[in-house]
Copies of this chain bind each other. A is one copy, B any other.
Amino acid sequence: MDPVANEFSVLEQICRPGKQDDARVVIGPGDDLALVRTVAPGGDVDLQSGSLLLAGVDQLIDGIHVSLKDVGLKAAGRKAITRSLSDIAAMAGRPVATLVSAVVPVGMSGAEALELFESMKQVAAHYHAPLVGGDLAYHQDEHGVLNCSVTVLAVPPSDGAIERFGSKAGDGLYVTGKLGGAWQGAHHLTFEPRLAEASMLKAILGERLHAMIDISDGLGRDASHLVERSGLQVVLEGELLPCRDGSDLIGAVQDGEDYELLFTASGDVPEGLGACSVTRIGSIRERDTADEPSVLLLHDGEEHDVSCSGWEHGAK
């Protein structure tokens, strides 16, 4: 069986949405982050008790999400943290804390391990997500590669986190910044998680901000996540896509690693947030039949199914 197929299918089965057995879980696994109410088990779970907390875990693996020999420990550590912070941005949350566990190669010296952890600690502190927990283990096999598992904790906006699944027919589809070529260039190592922009969007649009996700797997694939479990379809207008310098339409649709916000909203949306551009790139409509693709790219008068356009983790 194909390992990549396994990965998605196992997580999908474990994270199957449905009735949560525990009333404290407001949003279960399956979104960028989960949303939980921080009260003791058996306690009164009402809208007033405890605080709401966003939490999620993600891994950075050498050879998949970063090439350690090419970029070095400091950049790898930065990316381990920033890609997880991007998940906070996707839910319009604000960071609280970070926890990291790492398994490092047999040959890594203490000084190198320290450089890695110092990088993660500094980047986490910079984004107001202080590193409060860490664990370090060495691979037992000489071939084992660096793997950092990063948990992020955040608080949602006071009127609730922005989920993936709130889009409505007629919504506009928008993206921050530019898309494409992020992996080939330095963008995937240097991007700024869109934390401030997400909070601004939520503050400006309020209830009109219907759904949001960050683009890591590629625009096509991540757009399809927005309309999962719905009768909706994403329509991308090719000529509207903001391509990163050196990239083209195909790169913008499938390269991934952009860590830009992709969101749907009704009504007027600002064209920029501070120095960050916001571009309308399409819309949401009802799907005519279940057979229709979930994400359609309109370009030069033709329609393309791009709902699977993106890169599989592990394919690089």
Contacts and interface: CB of A to CB of B under 8 A. Distances in A.
A33 interface: yes
Contacts of A46: none
A276 interface: no
A301 interface: no
A99 to B, nearest CB: 4
A29 B133 CA distance: 5
Contacts of A7: 136-138
Contacts of A121: 14
Interface stretch (A124-132, A185-193, A204-212, A221-229): A124-132
A284 to B, nearest CB: 27
A61 interface: yes
Query: Main SS of chain A's interface residues?
Result: mixed
B59 A21 contact: no
A14 B119 CA distance: 10
A58 interface: yes
A59 B63 CA distance: 21
Interface stretch (A139-147, A171-179, A241-249, A259-267): A139-147
Nearest to A147: B103
A133 B38 contact: no
Nearest to A39: B155
Given A132-B55, A153-B53, A97 B10 contact: no
Interface stretch (A107-115, A289-297, A302-310): A107-115
Nearest to A156: B40
A286 interface: no
A282 interface: no
A134 B29 contact: yes
A274 interface: no
- Chain B CB within 10 A, most for which of A25, A56, A113, A135: A135
A24 B130 contact: yes
A18 interface: no
A58 B101 CA distance: 7
Contact of A57 (B33, B151, B313): B151
Contacts of A133: 29, 33-34, 55-57, 151
Nearest to A313: B137
A145 B139 CA distance: 9
A203 interface: no
B40 A132 contact: no
Interface of A: 1, 3-7, 9-11, 13-15, 20-22, 24-25, 28-29, 33-34, 36, 38-42, 50-51, 53, 55-59, 61, 63-64, 94-97, 99-101, 103, 106, 109-110, 113-114, 117-118, 121, 125, 128, 130-141, 143-145, 147, 149, 151, 153, 155, 313-314
26 contacts: A1-B110, A7-B137, A14-B114, A14-B117, A14-B131, A24-B97, A25-B132, A28-B132, A29-B131, A29-B132, A33-B133, A34-B99, A34-B133, A38-B155, A40-B94, A41-B94, A41-B128, A51-B51, A57-B134, A58-B135, A103-B147, A141-B141, A141-B143, A143-B144, A144-B144, A149-B149
